[in-house]
Amino acid sequence: MLNDTALCVEMLNNSLEKRNLRPISVNEYRRKFLFPIKTFYESVGFDFAHEPFEITNEEFHSGFEKNFKKLALQPDALSSIKKLNEKKVTQSILSATVQRKLVDQVKYFGLDAFLNNIVGISNTPSGFGKEYEGKELLLNVLIPKEETIIVGDSMLDFSVSQSLGIDCALIYNGHNNMERLTATGSETFPNIKSFYTWLTN
């Protein structure tokens, strides 16, 4: 939902530059971004044999939290959510963001009035909690899996959909590039508007 790729790259590059490591471009980020985050960080040059991963991870999340209010939603995100809400479609957010921070972000962007569930992870962001939280969410919404789809912009969203046994749609203007997302075999779209058109036709 958030148009946050550029901010994520900026926060990452701040940490890289502090360690005299080469900064990365948005294109390189989209080619390499993956979970677990520690593995991704190592792929762009961090050496956690010499400092704890938690230091870099906290730098990123602290910087993101200070700056997320500068962000906008993805184009057509809010209008699509509103229209689906009017159609009585059950909508939930499932995120690897810590629950309390996720609730704050959702409220700030005015999405909470149109969502049935807001589900983050309970502990420090690591990339290992989203599948568990997703399984709990499916139990709570009581919607058949064949009538459920997860929409995301990363390989993590695809792996979560596989773990949950539900369909997946991927949008490639976010955290991973088109080549990686289309290789999953999922339905892929350039933006939220094109996804909404496909979903409602």
Distances (CA, A) of 190 to 106, 163, 172, 198: 23, 24, 5, 12
pTM summary value: 0.90
Q: How far apart are CA 166 and CA 91, in angstroms?
A: 15
Q: How far apart are CA 115 and CA 79, in angstroms?
A: 13
Mean pLDDT, the chain cut into blocks of 10 residues (201 residues total): 95 97 97 93 96 94 93 96 97 92 94 95 65 91 94 95 97 96 97 96 92
Map tokens 């050496």 to a residue. 47
Torsion of CA 74, 79, 84, 87, to 10 degrees: 180
109: helix, strand or coil: coil
pLDDT at 122: 80
pLDDT at 124: 56
pLDDT at 10: 96
